[in-house]
Structure 1
Amino acid sequence: MRDREKRIRRALWDIVDWGERLMDHVEGRTEEEFRANRLLQDAACRCIEVIGEASRRLMELDPTLPARHPELALREAYAARNRIVHGYDGIDYGIVLAAARHSVPRMVAAARAVIPPDPA
């Protein structure tokens, strides 16, 4: 497998791994619990940052990927990362929680569907 293909595969797996971490963090939590728990908020934001950075890498490695697989929502994930990193003083944790519950599971499923098979 070529280096570029390995890097694409790694970035897709990063989306899956960090997305599943995020889903685990918020599973069974109420919005009130989430808003009251700074450690949980920080963990959720970190997961979104990594997912967004992996999305940026994918777009850089294969600029056709967003058009071929819009279900990955790579641009949106990178934009969310940027909002958290650069707008850290105005994070809306309700939006973070909604993303963790709705957008991230869809993205994880989409990433799993497009991960190239392991070479034999």
Structure 2
Amino acid sequence: MCRCDPQPRVGPGVARPHARLPGPDPRIHQRRTRPLRRSRLVQDAVIRNLQTLAESSQRLSNHIKGTEPQIPWRELAGFRNVIVHGYLGVDLGAVWLVVEQDLPTLAAAVDRMATHLGSQG
């Protein structure tokens, strides 16, 4: 479910947060949210990976975030707070929408940022 290099680096000391990007398993994607709703293990894995991604995004400099202005960085931080603290419960439908609709754009942006950082090192 994730690309599993625990601390991939781009240049000296620059972690690549996209290495842990959760991606929808093709089997899950085909059946939409049914497996997410049926399996507590899948729920925990997806939510934990999204939490890690959101927390990692908060550690990015404003300069690097500025290279991807189309990403709603503040909303991503807010999403992290919702899933970590479980405000009013976590809406699994909303989580799955993030995985399907927002994650591909974010993953592409993180790849571009990593390339940019790699070219500077």
Q: Same fold (TM over 0.5)?
A: yes
Distance 1:47 1:56 in 2: 15
Letter in 2 for 1:50: T
Name structure 1 gaps, 5 residues minimum: none
- Say what the alpha-carbon RMSD is for the aligned residues: 2.4
> How do 1:1-120 residues align onto structure 2 when only pairs under 5 Å count?
6-7=12-13, 9-10=14-15, 13-14=16-17, 16-19=18-21, 21-24=22-25, 26-58=28-60, 62-87=61-86, 90-115=89-114, 116-117=117-118
Q: String of CA shifts for 1:65-114, please: whole Å, max 9, x gaps.
A: 44442233322222111101112661000000010111011100011112
Name structure 2 gaps, 5 residues minimum: 1-10
Aligned residues: 108
Give the structure, 1 or 2, with the largest relative contact order (CA under 8 Å, sep 6 or more): 1
| Identical-residue share of aligned pairs (%) | 28
If the length of structure 2 is used for normalisation, what is the TM-score?
0.73
Aligned with 1:96: secondary structure? Answer: helix
If the length of structure 1 is used for normalisation, what is the TM-score?
0.74
